[in-house]
């Protein structure tokens, strides 16, 4: 059995002639907060469906908590909390009834924790699910996913439809709290600024492939924006670049293996945010390896 909370090996998913996931591999350590990033159509959703045992890949394997996700899906879902991209429940059911129904499905169910989160989200238990806003539906889904105290929480674009306050609550009060208690968190998201302060490791997908998989601290230490007021000098050491473009009368480079000892005395060197790195890796300039 694997010691990883999540392990994906050589996963391939095809729809007819189109390859959605192309030999993807990744692993997530227990207790880590891991973000899978990618532009629309990169293959994230197909990978997550296979990871959760909802879809069988054409090739490769996906395991959760040491067990094959496809063959052990039923038993695994008692230990895994899932928040899908689109919150879904019968529109006519009240939130309280949804919670009572869900409690029958799990051997562990913490109603007090569910009620506390709903209160923090300002969602009434008497409300009908169909009458809730898109953001409120997502908040209910989060509360349901956490109520059985999962060992692993999978969040598929959890902030979609949430306002600024709700996003802050989700990232700071929920995910960070789970990470502090040792719960493994795996998420896909477009809110890169929101996750930058809480994730331990980041993977990036492009065209169905994992093009980057790295500890966030290491990633941010090696990416730099380097600007030269004049023409780029001929000698810049062994620096690799993801992009080179004009900058006023000078040159701007996105460096992917920054070394403070490199001969860049005449350059303006600045760190990059996770969002800026993501654009450099998966944007129109091409993928940096």
Query: pTM for this one?
Result: 0.89
Q: How confident is the model at residue 253 (pLDDT cuts 50, 70, 90)?
A: confident
pLDDT band at 1 (very low <50, low <70, confident <90, very high): very low
Query: Which residue, 178, 136, 134, is CA-closest to 155?
Result: 178
82 and 122 assigned to the same domain: yes
Q: Looking at the structure, do residues 209 and 230 belong to the same domain, yes or no?
A: no
279 lies in a domain?
Answer: no
CATH number at residue 107: 3.40.50.300
| Residues 254 and 126 occupy one common structural domain | no
Domain boundary among 173, 197, 217: 217
Q: Is residue 90 part of a domain?
A: yes
Whole-angstrom CA distances from 68 to 56, 93, 182 are 11, 34, 22
Mean pLDDT, the chain, rounded, equals 89
Confidence at residue 56, expressed as pLDDT on a 0 to 100 scale: 96
Q: Are residues 162 and 249 in the same domain?
A: no
Q: Measured between alpha carbons, how far is 192 from 202 in angstroms, rounded to an integer? A: 11
Instruction: Supply the range of the domain harboring residue 249.
Output: 224-271
Give mean pLDDT, residues 268-280: 93
- Asked whether residue 202 carries a pLDDT value surpassing 90, the answer given is yes
Same domain, yes or no: 231 and 213 = no
Question: Residues 29, 53: one domain?
Answer: yes
Poorest-pLDDT segment among 15-24, 52-61, 114-123: 114-123
pLDDT at residue 107, as a whole number: 87
Q: How confident is the model at residue 266 (pLDDT cuts 50, 70, 90)?
A: low
Question: pLDDT tens digits, residue range 142-191?
Answer: 999 999 999 999 999 888 877 888 788 788 778 878 888 889 999 999 88
Residue 84 lies in a domain: yes
Q: Looking at the domain assignment, is residue 281 inside a domain? A: no
End-to-end CA distance of the chain, in Å? 30
In a domain, 131, yes or no: yes
Q: Is residue 122 located within the same domain as residue 251?
A: no
Q: Is residue 22 part of a domain?
A: yes
* 70 & 149 share domain: yes
> How confident is the model over 217-236, as pLDDT tens digits?
999 999 999 888 776 665 56
186 shares its domain with 234: no
Statement: residue 51 has pLDDT above 70: yes
pLDDT of amino acid 283: 76
For position 288, what pLDDT does the model report?
38
- Indicate the number of domains in the chain: 2
Whether the CB-CB separation of 278 and 191 falls below 8 Å is answered with: no
Claim to verify: residue 199 and residue 235 sit in the same structural domain = no
Residue 286 is assigned to a structural domain of this protein: no
Same domain, residue pair 184 and 244: no
pLDDT of residue 273: 95
Length of the chain in terms of residues written: 289
Alpha-carbon distances, residue 181 vs 85, 121, 279 (angstroms): 25, 21, 32
- Residue 237 is predicted with a pLDDT of 63
Q: Do residues 198 and 106 share a domain?
A: yes
In a domain, 276, yes or no: no
Cα Rg of the chain, angstroms: 21
What is the enclosing helix (H) or strand (E) of 45?
helix 44-51
pLDDT on residue 175: 82
- pLDDT tens per residue, range 96-146: 999 999 999 898 999 999 999 899 888 999 999 999 988 889 889 999 999
pLDDT at position 287 is: 39
């Amino acid at each position: 059995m694997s010691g990883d909370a999540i392990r994906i090996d050589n996963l391939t998913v095809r729809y007819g002639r189109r390859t959605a996931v192309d030999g993807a591999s990744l692993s997530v350590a227990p207790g880590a907060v891991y973000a899978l990033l990618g532009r629309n159509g990169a293959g994230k959703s197909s990978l997550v469906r296979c990871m959760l045992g909802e879809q069988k890949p054409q090739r490769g394997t996906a395991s959760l908590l040491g067990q094959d996700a496809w063959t052990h899906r039923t038993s695994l879902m008692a230990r895994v909390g899932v928040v899908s991209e689109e919150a879904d429940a019968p529109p006519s059911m009240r939130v309280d009834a949804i919670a009572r129904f869900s409690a029958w499905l799990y051997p562990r169910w913490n109603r007090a924790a569910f009620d506390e989160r709903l209160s923090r989200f300002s969602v009434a238990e008497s409300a009908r699910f169909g009458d809730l806003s898109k953001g409120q539906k997502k908040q209910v889904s989060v509360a349901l996913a956490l109520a059985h105290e999962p060992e692993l929480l999978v969040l598929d674009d959890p902030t979609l439809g949430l306002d600024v306050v709700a996003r802050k609550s989700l990232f700071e009060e929920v995910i960070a709290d789970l990470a502090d208690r040792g719960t493994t968190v795996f998420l896909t998201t477009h809110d890169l600024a929101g996750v930058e302060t809480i994730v331990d490791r980041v993977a990036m997908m492009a065209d169905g492939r994992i093009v980057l998989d790295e500890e966030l601290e290491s990633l941010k230490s090696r990416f730099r924006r380097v600007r030269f007021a004049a023409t780029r000098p001929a000698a810049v050491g062994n620096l690799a670049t993801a992009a080179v473009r004009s900058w006023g009368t000078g040159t701007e480079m996105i460096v992917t293996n920054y070394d403070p000892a490199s001969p860049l005395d005449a350059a303006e060197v600045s760190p990059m945010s996770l969002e800026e790195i993501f654009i450099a890796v998966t944007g129109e300039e091409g993928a940096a390896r």
